[in-house]
Structure 1
Amino acid sequence: ECAALQDDELVALEAIYPPEQLRIVRKSGERQTEVTFNVPVSLHKETDVYIQVDGKPGEDLPPLRLLHLPPLALTVSLPPLYPLQEPPRIVRLAAPWISDVSSSRAQWVRQRLLEQWQEVQGEVLWTYGEWAREGWVDETLRSRSNSPFSNGKTSKGLYFQHSNHNTAPSKTGTPLTRPLGDTLSAYDRLARQSAFGKERFLCSICLEAKRGEACTRIEACGHVFCRECLLDYLTLHLTEGSLRLALSCPDASCVSSKALLKAGSISVSELSDFLKETPSLLTRLRFLEEKEAAEADPTAVPCPRPDCQTLTPKDASNDNSSRWEAFRQCRTCSYSFCVWCRKTWHAPSPCSLPSTSSLLDKYAAATPEVRRALEARYGRKNLLRLKAQYEEEKANQEWLKGKTQACPHCSSRIEKSLGCNHMTCQHCQSHFCYLCGSRLNAAHPYQHFNTPGSPCFNRLFD
């Protein structure tokens, strides 16, 4: 009778569980059967998982938010009198969060499985499999549970034990403190990807339902798009140079949201991972990132080379001395230039900026914000130097205009200290009138002063 009940139960189990989750080994010589469950643990919802290191409370480490746990591998042997008189014998019990089969956690699992059979004294293999899948989690998360996987007070999460004694040291000699957490996180990530790939989603761009393996989910907002549509969307905005739109979720609810850069944003790392198979777009993304960072840096200026124009910020490794304040080296073409005059780096020689009145008039009439921008571009000391030079030059020109006369042939300025108004230029030997600046006949230079009706008539000695 027990053998028949065992056969019926095993047939039912084979119909319920896929081959990768169930293995049945029949030992004809010993008239015993071994059943191995390898059922993934379901948490139903994201659950906090704390890692206790060497018996210390797990709250000092940030919890893991997990939805899947690696399988609790359970192997039981069916004695001849199972299921009516004997319980299944536990042969093997293993899981990443059960570090020692003799630990209190392992003993608690064995005891709870035995109690499952004692309650019914019948077929319990399916109960064992489902308890390994989710039963122990439900008991642990129950308020004031006596499960060793809880803290015994609240039901806020699962607590697993990890020992540093079994952990290899890192390259720095410091023991790694969370290899168990890394294992659980990696399994959870792969399990989420596998579950995502088996579902079907509606792409809000092409409005077609596609399998998850052909789609991508935005982590921040959870919207799903098929990869083909999302790639077209990113290609458009990256090509046009709009990094802000490329980093925004294209779903209508995110586009219309005022908090576009929060709930509906795509992280740069997420975008880089998506574009890893399109090197040209990935390169374009890196360029736009650097460009955006440089535009936000007030010390950044475009490279003076017409075929480059790369925004070049100040090198943080340079000291803050005035000598290196204007130094820039383009990261694209390696051109070293002065940020003020936009010419090849010339320190310690001063800049040869044009002392144009338009620049100085703009600086003099500018608002404080515009003035700071001009000082950031040309340098405050340079502008003050140009202003002093310009004012000196302007004063010189005014003095020359009022006190001298220009030669009509070579434009040399000549000052009369004494004598008549007949002047002879020392540079070109031209004869001219000091009063009106007109040329004089070299053979008859005084005719200009003796001709009635002339503006300089009788003014030879004025």
Structure 2
Amino acid sequence: MPTRKSTLPDEATLTECQRLQQEEFEVLESIYPEYVSSQLNDGTLKLEVPVELERNRKLTITCNAPHDPSTSSPMTENLVVSTLPPLLVYLALPHTYPLHKPPQLLSIRATHLWLPNIERLSKLLTDMWQAGDGVLYAWIEYLRTGEFLQPLDLSNGSNSIITIEHSNPPSLAPLLAGYDKLSQSSQFARNAYPCSDFWGMCIEEGDVGRVGCPDPDCVKEKREANEEEVARIVSDAEVQRWRWLREKRDLERDPRIIHCPVEVCQAAVKPPANEDPESGWARFRQCPKCMFSFCAFCRRTWHGPISPCVMAHSEKVVMEYLAAEEDSEDRWVIEQRYGKKNIVQLVLRYQEEVANKEWLDKSTTGCPGCSCHVEKTMGCNHASALLFLVVADRC
């Protein structure tokens, strides 16, 4: 009696298939680590493949629900995208894959349910398998590049409009647009860009604080690039702008900086290098651009370290100082700009002037001829001023 030949695979075939599956899985993990979302332990595998189009494509979402003639025209949404939400592929690898059987597609699901004809896509993927060859890499590329859109009649070519039917286009459109925007931001964060591009952009935008080494240690120390390092990376024009921005920033940060009072100059003037806050020379400034020497308090031509400023001009500084609260940042800035001792002297002088004026107004009478203040201490109401004019104290 003839015996029936067994169709079960032998042990050598199973061992070879297992080896090929493991090799294919390792290749996928090395090329697409973010696409493989499970381990090949029980012969099943999960893939999450985003659709990355070559360029921006126009996408039209039409409504596949029955249209009521009494209402307005059917709902249609138009947008431009370069990526589409990922396809979630859940598959099982038979023991004889890839030599004798194709992968078994357990399910295919599109994020946000944007893709129709899932069953048709499943058949397209299965037909791609050829006995003896692994097909998972080809599947991922087929889905990632959007090549499946044309066989599913969603597009007529790589440059044509993508048309998708959906039951509610107004709800699907913002989901697709939001994913595309998020995907572009993530792609930008993953890419590496030359320092020349990044530094040039920072210099153009005026953000010189970010022109520095991106090494984590340097970032922690907030170390900025020096002029030699910048000159090696960017153009001469950008170096000049970087230098100007650095100087401008440093000047704005220094509360001691005073601008030249000459209207046609207005250059920033730094305090003397060896400034002595106890000396009257602390008020001295000389413009490096027009060489004009002036007083930091009254902004007038330099009148020497001993001669006081005209009270009308220094009074403004004193009033600003007194208007600020004690131990406030505003007072600290004024003290740094003019010197704390100088400010204290100005305040004392101002308070003395105010007290003297109050006493003169209260206790004396001004002579109508010479304006000299006359105080009555005793005697009648008649007084003699310097010009020997007779004046009545009461009138």
Which one scores higher on RCO, CA 8 angstroms, separation ≥ 6? 2
- The question of a shared fold, defined as TM-score above 0.5 by the shorter chain, is answered with no
TM class by shorter chain equals 0.3 to 0.5
TM-score by length of 2: 0.38
